[in-house]
């Protein structure tokens, strides 16, 4: 199975280790992964700020870059939602590009969605290097994809050494929302403080946050509030379990 990684801007610039973890895990589960180097922004910031023509230009580039990909997988739910929900409407008056947009949308998946819906992976044979307690933040754009947090939580619970604690208001926005955090900084700040407090109340070592913007926002909130909770993408957790389990097999444990 051939998979093209759409890394997304924030992951590429601020969390490249997430992109590498996505590649490691997909390859572990039998995928052949490529990285089209011509990829750029999907156009979401321009679209969300009222510049559809600019968004359409970037979207057209994405249609070209990924036209030959069997599947496109991204660690960012918001970027996946941009492709799936908004690309077809951006080209509603251009039949050829509209058909291409619909085709790309049908081949594009958020990382957890791809693991569970397409690969149908099981993680019960994997274990973490040490016991770790997790909680989970449900990112808003998963709603656009029609996805719940259950698949990600289900994967976590399969890992040896992992325990899980439900966070109050797990599905409440963290306050990032792209430029929302700039335009309404006071509201955004209050929302992320609430999110961090809810996470800290679980006693979790790590909050799973599967979107770059949310991860940056919540991680910053933890730092400002002195909360020592880590913020990680689930691909990083699965990659660590793969490495640890491989090491155990090598030494015959």
204 domain residue, yes or no: yes
N- to C-terminal Cα separation, the chain: 31
Question: Do 147 and 107 belong together in one domain?
Answer: no
Q: How long is the chain? A: 253
Question: Do 43 and 104 belong together in one domain?
Answer: yes
Question: Do 107 and 176 belong together in one domain?
Answer: no
pLDDT number for residue 94: 97
Among the candidates 52, 86, 118, a domain finishes at: 118
247 against 119, higher pLDDT: 119
Contact 171, 107 (CB under 8 A): no
How does residue 150 score in pLDDT terms, banded at 50, 70 and 90? very high
Question: Do 91 and 67 belong together in one domain?
Answer: yes
Q: Does the pLDDT of residue 40 top 80, yes or no?
A: yes
Summarised one tens digit per residue, pLDDT across range 100-122 is: 999 999 999 999 999 999 999 99
Structure tokens at 137: 């933040």
253 domain residue, yes or no: no
Question: Do 64 and 110 belong together in one domain?
Answer: yes
Among the candidates 118, 136, 155, a domain finishes at: 118
Question: Do 227 and 130 belong together in one domain?
Answer: yes
Structural domain for 16, as ranges: 2-118
pLDDT number for residue 250: 60
Q: Write out the H or E segment, with its range, that includes residue 238.
A: helix 234-250
251 domain residue, yes or no: no
Summarised one tens digit per residue, pLDDT across range 55-96 is: 999 999 999 999 999 999 999 999 999 999 999 999 999 999
Contact 233, 24 (CB under 8 A): no
- Total domains in the chain come to 2
Question: Do 154 and 48 belong together in one domain?
Answer: no
DSSP 155-185: HHHHSEEEEE-PPTTTTS--S-TTTHHHHTH
Q: For residue 146, give the 3-state DSSP assignment.
A: coil
pLDDT number for residue 253: 47
Question: Do 102 and 27 belong together in one domain?
Answer: yes
Among the candidates 84, 100, 118, a domain finishes at: 118
| Distance from C-alpha of 245 to C-alpha of 242, rounded to nearest angstrom | 5
141 against 218, higher pLDDT: 218
Q: For residue 135, give the 3-state DSSP assignment.
A: strand
Residue 249: CB atoms within 10 A of its CB come to 10
252 domain residue, yes or no: no
Question: Do 213 and 239 belong together in one domain?
Answer: yes
69 domain residue, yes or no: yes
Contact 188, 213 (CB under 8 A): no
CATH number of the domain encompassing residue 61: 3.40.50
């Amino acid at each position: 199975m051939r998979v093209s990684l759409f890394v997304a801007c924030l992951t590429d610039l601020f969390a490249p280790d997430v992109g590498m973890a996505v590649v490691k895990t997909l390859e572990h589960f039998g995928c052949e992964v490529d990285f089209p180097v011509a990829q750029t922004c999907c156009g979401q910031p321009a679209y969300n700020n009222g510049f559809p023509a600019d968004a359409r230009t970037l979207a057209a580039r994405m249609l070209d870059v990924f036209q030959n990909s069997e599947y496109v997988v991204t660690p960012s739910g918001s970027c996946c939602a941009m492709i799936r929900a908004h690309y077809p409407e951006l080209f509603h008056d251009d039949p050829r590009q509209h058909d291409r947009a619909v085709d790309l949308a049908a081949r594009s998946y958020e990382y957890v969605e791809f693991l569970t819906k397409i690969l149908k992976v099981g993680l019960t044979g994997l274990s973490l290097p040490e016991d770790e307690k997790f909680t989970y933040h449900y990112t808003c754009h998963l709603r656009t994809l029609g996805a719940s947090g259950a698949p990600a939580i289900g994967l976590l619970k399969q890992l040896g050494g992992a325990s899980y604690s439900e966070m109050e208001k797990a599905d409440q926005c963290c306050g990032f929302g792209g430029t929302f955090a700039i335009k309404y900084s006071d509201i955004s700040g209050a929302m992320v403080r609430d999110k961090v407090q809810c996470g800290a109340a679980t006693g979790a070592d790590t909050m799973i946050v599967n979107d770059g913007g949310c991860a940056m926002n919540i991680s910053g909130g933890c730092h400002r509030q002195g909360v020592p909770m880590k913020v990680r993408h689930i691909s990083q957790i699965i990659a660590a379990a793969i490495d640890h389990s491989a090491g155990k097999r090598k030494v015959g444990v």
